[in-house]
Amino acid sequence: MNILMVLSQVEVTGAEVYAASISDKLIDKGHNVFIVSDTLTVPTRAKYIPLPLNKRRLYLQVKHLYKLIKTIRDNNIMVIHSHSRVSCKLSYIASRLCGVPMIYTAHGHHHVHLSKKLFPAYGEYTLAICENVRDQIIKELHWDKDKIEILRNGIDGSRYSPVHVPVKPEVPTVSIIGRLSGPKGDVAYKVLEEICIKTPIDASIKINVVGGMVIPERFKKFQNRVSLSGFVGKVSDQIANSSVIIGSGRVAIESLMMGKPTIAFGEATYEGLVTTDNYQKVLRSNFGDIAESGSWDTSHLGQDISAGLKMEKIPEQLYTAISNSFNLDRVTERIEYIYQSIYSREKYEIPVLLYHRVISDPSLAGKHGTYVTTRQLEAHLEYLHKNNYTPITFEDLSMIDRFDKDKKYVILTFDDGYEDNYTLLFPMLKKFNFKAVIFMVTGKKENTWDYLDEGRTFPLLERAQILEMNKYGIEFGAHTMNHVDLTKVEVAEARQEIEGSREALEDILGKKVTAFAYPYGSVNDTVKELVKKAGFKYGIATVIGPLAIHEDTFNIRRIVTHPDTNLSRFARKVKGNYLYRKAKRRATTANSIAAKDVTLTPVEVQSRRGGSKRTA
């Protein structure tokens, strides 16, 4: 995906470090990332595009908007991710004018203005870095609580880890790290006033202030007692060479990840020395930066410094909690998931179509009516060919860009493995040079669940036919041995059906089988776990499951084709937004009769299940 990060700051901020860290991880995953910002201090592999968003005169804002729109269009941006209050509205307007979905990460407290209530420009989804940020924007700005979740700052554990901490400094050192401008500058000043003037700490303790490009005049009164170094080298080096850190937000997180005793004091409140006991409370305020009501009472600061200096390192339990809460890989995976969800909802998801039998004469229809005629199927394939669709397989899925704007992908699946898939389907696929996926029942030679009458069943594919079709490019997936409902048999039997079908199919093909389709679309958590443990990469359902493929790759929803799926219906089903439009219609209908309904959001791990019909 092509992703645009939009920030606004004139000196290094936690939001900038966050955006740069996430950008590099996304680049590692194969995405293209661009950063638009006034400045960019921290190193990143993302392409930087300077734009002075902090200059807020109206005519300049218009110029910024024009350049932002040009950046989006020139770089084929697919998702916009705004990281600051200043950039949020411009990003929102640009996203709407360009038709590009947007998310917003709320890094701090929001000033309450009528315009923010009337014009909640947070896009499709909001990420709040802590509970207090989330609660404030819901309570005071009335943003939709169903479109907000907490996702904390991601920290690279390989860069901030006790492993990289040198021996304890020979001279006890207390470091105050953070900007010296604005509210954070007031915090640093308050700390120095407390420990240098009101209640001076022992003169043998070194006090180091790290922050700001320029040291403000008011801080120079402390220069005989304090080292005012500004930002020099890596922040991690400054942390490593300190005994106790005083900071908030990202600084406090990085310090704790390096095992350093840390005193949380931020723009909103003084939290004190971070311990296992107060950790959850401190998390809510992002280590003192955001609080509904807080206090700058620093009367316990000296005691907290003394307690911190006595600690060799933070407790193991606290370190584990920090590492889990702020794991950069986990945060990046969640953000990537959200990007894909909002893009697929707003733009396109690969349609996965479900077929069964192909018949030349309606008199051959079985009792379930799970068929299409040759005439009907050829019309479907002709439509795909004329409209430049590219049929792919599940084996292809991990090797393509699912959201490539220059491609229209579709996956054609056929369940059970009927002989007519060879005699009737295969020639049509070859005619259009198309691929498909056939889910094969491996323990039977003929169909016993969709027959014409007791004495007439439908034969399944033979080994030679499977090999010929697979050599051409048709993927074969497993579909149990005996076409059983896996949710209605004992776990041991379900496991045997799943693993046995995989083994039989791999024996025929001589290679690993990627996908498994649940007979009748019947699946639950136990069955999904069995399929995962059997070594499959994908589990394929029918009309249940999330609306986007990545949201649960072991419950991939399909779009059913029926004998009455004419060409106009087929065209709607392959458009790419069919499932989302169908879900919205269903929700609207339910609301219209005052039924209780589930709101579909783009980031639900499980989307609302649609319909009760199951397909053989």
What tens digit of pLDDT does each residue of 343-365 get? Answer: 988 778 899 999 999 998 877 77
List where CATH 3.40.50.2000 sits in the chain.
2-150, 162-315
pLDDT at residue 525, rounded to an integer: 95
pLDDT at residue 344, rounded to an integer: 87
- Cα distance between the two ends of the chain: 36
Average pLDDT over residues 86-95: 89
pLDDT, tens digit, for every residue of 448-486?
Answer: 766 666 667 788 999 999 999 999 999 999 999 999 999
pLDDT at residue 283, rounded to an integer: 93
Range 2-150 has CATH code 3.40.50.2000 = yes
Residue 23 CA to residue 31 CA, distance in Å, equals: 9
- Report which of residues 434 and 13 the model is more confident about: 434
pLDDT grade, residue 552 (50/70/90)? very high
pLDDT, tens digit, for every residue of 373-426?
Answer: 999 999 999 999 999 999 999 999 988 888 888 889 999 999 999 999 999 999
Average model confidence (pLDDT) across the chain: 87
The fraction of the chain above a pLDDT of 90, given in percent, is: 55
The fraction of the chain above a pLDDT of 70, given in percent, is: 90
Select the CATH number that applies to the domain covering 162-315 from these four: 2.40.50.140, 3.40.640.10, 3.40.50.2000, 3.40.630.10. 3.40.50.2000
Tell me if 122 sits within 8 A of 141, measured CB to CB: no
pLDDT at residue 388, rounded to an integer: 95
Tell me if 531 sits within 8 A of 557, measured CB to CB: no
pLDDT, tens digit, for every residue of 479-528?
Answer: 999 999 999 999 999 999 999 999 999 999 999 999 999 999 999 999 99
Tell me if 212 sits within 8 A of 187, measured CB to CB: no
pLDDT grade, residue 600 (50/70/90)? very low
pLDDT at residue 232, rounded to an integer: 59
Look up residue 367 and give its two tokens.
């009792």
User: Which of these, 559, 577, 548, 570, lies nearest to 387 by C-alpha position?
Assistant: 570
pLDDT at residue 606, rounded to an integer: 40
Strand, helix or coil for residue 240:
helix
List where CATH 3.20.20.370 sits in the chain.
355-579
Could you give the C-alpha distances from 220 to 180, 223, 396, 440, in angstroms and in order? 12, 5, 63, 78
- Report which of residues 120 and 95 the model is more confident about: 95
pLDDT at 591 over 60: no
DSSP 8-state assignment for residue 548: S
pLDDT at 595 over 50: no
Of 202-206, 235-239, 248-252, the poorest mean pLDDT is in 235-239
Instruction: Tell me the CATH number for domain 355-579.
Output: 3.20.20.370
- Report which of residues 170 and 244 the model is more confident about: 244
Average pLDDT over residues 536-548: 92
DSSP characters for 313-343?
A: S--HHHHHHHHHHTBHHHHHHHHHHHHHHHH
- Report which of residues 42 and 535 the model is more confident about: 535
Of 21-25, 223-227, 298-302, the poorest mean pLDDT is in 223-227
pLDDT at residue 475, rounded to an integer: 97
Residue 152 CA to residue 331 CA, distance in Å, equals: 7
pLDDT at residue 453, rounded to an integer: 65
> Count of alpha carbons within 13 Å of 491, Cβ hemisphere only?
8
The pTM of this model reads: 0.81
Non-local (6+) Cβ contacts of 285 within 8 A are 130, 132, 264, 266, 268, 269, 271, 291, 294
pLDDT at 56 over 50: yes
pLDDT, tens digit, for every residue of 143-164?
Answer: 889 999 999 988 888 877 776 6
pLDDT grade, residue 42 (50/70/90)? confident
pLDDT grade, residue 54 (50/70/90)? confident
DSSP 8-state assignment for residue 428: H
Tell me if 63 sits within 8 A of 97, measured CB to CB: no
Q: Phi and psi of 559, rounded to 5°? A: -105, 115
Residue 238 CA to residue 529 CA, distance in Å, equals: 46
Of 109-118, 415-424, 560-569, the poorest mean pLDDT is in 109-118
pLDDT at 592 over 80: no
pLDDT, tens digit, for every residue of 294-327?
Answer: 788 888 999 999 999 998 788 899 999 999 999 9
pLDDT grade, residue 601 (50/70/90)? very low
Look up residue 230 and give its two tokens.
């500004």
**Token pair 């007031």 in the structure block, residue:** 186
